[in-house]
Amino acid sequence: MRDLARAQAHTADIQSYAYRQAMSHLLQLRKYSVYDQIDKPTRSACYKLMDAVDEISVWHAALPTADKLRWKHPQSIVKHAPRNLVEGGRGHNKPKQKNQKKPTGWAEIERLKALLIQVIKRLAKYEPDATELLDQVNPSDPDDGVGDL
């Protein structure tokens, strides 16, 4: 389901607005509604486990029987599993690092993004469906309306 949301959002960043919207939409669908009933911390633990499910299965099978019986819930498995199996995932719930430097060409990227937004807004005068492209260009911008043209 995570891969479906990434494909719909056209991003690999699971913290992006577009990804979160796509995941929310998928969870509202009837065939995925069972996943919406799982609380968010447990679902996050499942994401961590699925990145290394084969290695974690081998590790869990080698545990003593008492530990296997106690550590059945995904959160308890994440807590007790070797760090290299669960921390090497895709960055779930990791705090953002402070003072992170932006890439060297960041100003140019922002300039081109602003130019693209202007082009899409002008195109929207003739093709109203073009406004949907704004969500893909700048999904974190809550004011994507074309009313100010």
Give tens-digit pLDDT for 81-104.
Answer: 888 777 644 544 555 566 666 666
Give tens-digit pLDDT for 30-72.
Answer: 787 777 778 888 888 887 887 788 888 888 888 888 888 888 8
Secondary structure percentages of the chain, helix, strand, coil, to 5: 60, 0, 40
Q: Residue 91 — left, alpha, or beta (φ > 0 → left; ψ -120 to 50 → alpha)?
A: left
Q: Taking the alpha carbons of 143, 108, 136, 18 in that order, is the dihedral positive or negative?
A: negative
